[in-house]
Chain A
Amino acid sequence: MNQFYHYFKSLPKRMQIEAAIALGLTILATISIPVLAWFSNERKLGDLERVDTPTRLYITAAHDDIKYLQLTDIKVSDSSAEKKKYYVFCVSGKSASYYSLQLAYTTNNQFEYFVYPAHQLTDEELGGEPIDESSYLVKHTAHDEDGEETDTYYYKIEKDSTINQPNSAFSGDASYRLWTGSVIREDSAAITTRFINKNNDNDLIANNSKHNATYSYKRYDDNNANADIEDAPDKGVGAQLYSEPVYWQALRIKSGMDASNHFENYYILEVNWEKAAEAAGDDGLKDDKETDIIYIAAEATS
């Protein structure tokens, strides 16, 4: 030790300082490396994941509040007129790439309901005033907040447009229904459509397979779906045959969002009583005051 001390003292001042600094730094390094090694004996995991953008989905009348979607003016007794009527509704929203559409309707009236993709006619397609009635299938006049009528919009079934190339195997208007095998919108992929509670696609009424999902009380007569209510009064209150809603779905419809993720799809709902008129035969149909409920629902699936 003494030797080092004398050696140290014999060095010029400058070298003494340098030696001291070097020694200090060495000690620092010696101590700090194990400390740092200890500090860094920690491990980290991390993951970056995407957060989805909220979807907005709306069902409205064409450019109008849903309350103006009124299925009115159905006069089944007029046997000379066409046995169908058309109405327009709109599914719109944001950030939904695909959605499913569902109709649920009761069958007090023996109607059939069909949905078609609709095309809103542009001013060029309409030509000038007066508007040629054969150029459109159905029109809707929008309203403002006070209920005053504003603009009228014209629609026809979407076909032969560049974005909807029909499959050449189909022909006629019926092929453009949102029906199994029909073609809709951009990528020409057929969407799946189906009735989920009919025994047969041609039946007009529902079976009871979805009764428990729809109603919390019993179906009227589990053994005899066609029994009249007078026949079994002791069965208690139950859902009557024609209040069993028919469920129809069109799955995975592509919404076709624009650059800012908005979309607006128009549909024509056809209410058709041709089959009912056929079944009534020569008597024809009567304007009985039967009431039906029809629900239109849409659900974003992605």
Chain B
Amino acid sequence: MQEKQEMNIKKLSSVKIIVIVLLIISVIVFGSLSWFTMSKEVEGSKLSMKSDLDSFELAVPERTDAETYYNAKINGLGYLTGNDNLSTTDGSIRWVMKDESTNISSEDYKGFRPGSYGRLTFYILPNSDADTSYTFELKMTGYYAEFVPDSNDEQVLTKEIKANTFQTLSEKANGDATSDYALAANYLKGHILFFQNHKALTSEGETDTNLYYSGRIADTFTYNTADHQAEKTTWNGHLAYEVNIFWIWPNTFGQIVLDSNDDNLYGDAMFSSNQSGTITPRNDLINYIANNPGYFFSTSDLIEQDATSLTEKMSKESLSTTNSLIALSNGYNDADQVIGENVQFILVELTADKGSSTGSAGN
């Protein structure tokens, strides 16, 4: 009996010790996490915690009445609408991604397609005017959906989504990497591109007035307010910086690799050979294509090629002396077809954090 009691007491004390040790460990872990990620201006007073001067808000341009498509769906995904276009501490808000390419009337408009392009605009509303860095992460997800058939086949943008059919492409692919849904998800990564700039060449005496893209956004980009004083403005009386992200779904592959005066070009050239930079914007994209052919082409010939030989196929010499553009264009157009047939929606999300990319938190 005595022994048993002793055993029990020992057990109990070891349990107590373990519990206390665990507590201490978690306190240490949280303490060090917060030390390393501490933002000095955060203050905790006795009962309420608040972060003050360091915070910022985001605002978006007005969304017109005609652009309220699928509000219920986007609300379900966590983005508020009807929120005065201003993010708050509680919610994320619906953005405006409008197709500026189309000149068909809004009643005929049916959604994004190859050749669509536009800009995504938002405003950073910092609470202080000190030079700060922000990190923006851009993410795009494709969705599949089926629609309730109705007699009005024209109003495509207000068609009701059939219950339980709205899924991401990866959910729909269900692990099968060869299914059209998985392929379409990959093609989206290459076919819808985001850039920080869309502007004319700036060198002295330049006569080309076309606008070209530069500053391709892969996943994240850093924004230093110090470099963007020209975009400083106000939004509803609050200090704001206007940030524009330019997106494009190129209609033809030639728009990526050809100059604007090339006879084989159909559409507007995205880049110019006269753009400056250690790596020109076109070469940066060619590099991305050569290393990720599965995001751009659907033909196995191109997907299986190594980066060097693909880069060579996209070089100026090869394009002008061989028929390499035909194979590249066909692969690109076929991939466009797969996207169109399997993707019904795209969700574009921006996450903004203070700090430069090495120190940011969040996904």
Instruction: Report which A residues bind B (CB closer than 8 A).
Output: 13, 17, 20-21, 24-25, 27-28, 30-35, 37-54, 97-98, 257, 259, 261, 301-302
Which of A32, A40, A42, A98 is packed against the most chain B CB atoms within 10 Å?
A42
| B361 lies within 8 A of A42 (CB) | yes
Given A50-B111, A50-B156, A43:B58 Cβ within 8 A:
yes
Specify which chain A residues have a CB less than 8 angstroms from the CB of B19 in the assembled complex: 17, 21
CA distance A177 to B290 in the complex (A): 54
Specify which chain A residues have a CB less than 8 angstroms from the CB of B69 in the assembled complex: 49-50
| A53 lies within 8 A of B38 (CB) | no
Provide the main secondary structure of the chain B interface.
mixed
Chain A minimum-CB-distance residue to B143: A48
Instruction: Report which B residues bind A (CB closer than 8 A).
Output: 16, 19-20, 23-24, 26-27, 30-31, 33-34, 37-39, 42, 44, 49-51, 54-58, 60, 69-70, 73-74, 77-79, 87, 89, 92-97, 99, 104, 108-113, 120, 122, 142-143, 149, 153-154, 156-157, 336-337, 339-341, 343-354, 360-362
Provide the main secondary structure of the chain A interface.
mixed
Contact of B351 among A44, A48, A259, A302 (CB under 8 A): A44
Contact of B154 among A17, A44, A46, A97 (CB under 8 A): A97
CA distance A38 to B353 in the complex (A): 10
The minimal Cβ–Cβ distance linking B173 to chain A, given in whole angstroms, is 17
CA distance A259 to B94 in the complex (A): 32
| A24 lies within 8 A of B27 (CB) | yes
Chain A minimum-CB-distance residue to B99: A49
| A27 lies within 8 A of B27 (CB) | yes
CA distance A140 to B42 in the complex (A): 82
Can you spell out 8 A-B residue pairs with CB atoms less than 8 angstroms apart?
A31-B31, A32-B30, A33-B49, A38-B361, A42-B354, A46-B350, A48-B70, A50-B344
Q: A47-B120, A301-B104 are in contact. List 12 more A-B contacts (CB 8 A).
A: A20-B23, A30-B44, A38-B37, A38-B38, A38-B39, A44-B351, A48-B70, A49-B99, A50-B112, A50-B157, A54-B340, A301-B108
Specify which chain A residues have a CB less than 8 angstroms from the CB of B26 in the assembled complex: 24, 28
The minimal Cβ–Cβ distance linking A28 to chain B, given in whole angstroms, is 6
| A51 lies within 8 A of B87 (CB) | no
CA distance A20 to B362 in the complex (A): 32
CA distance A34 to B52 in the complex (A): 11
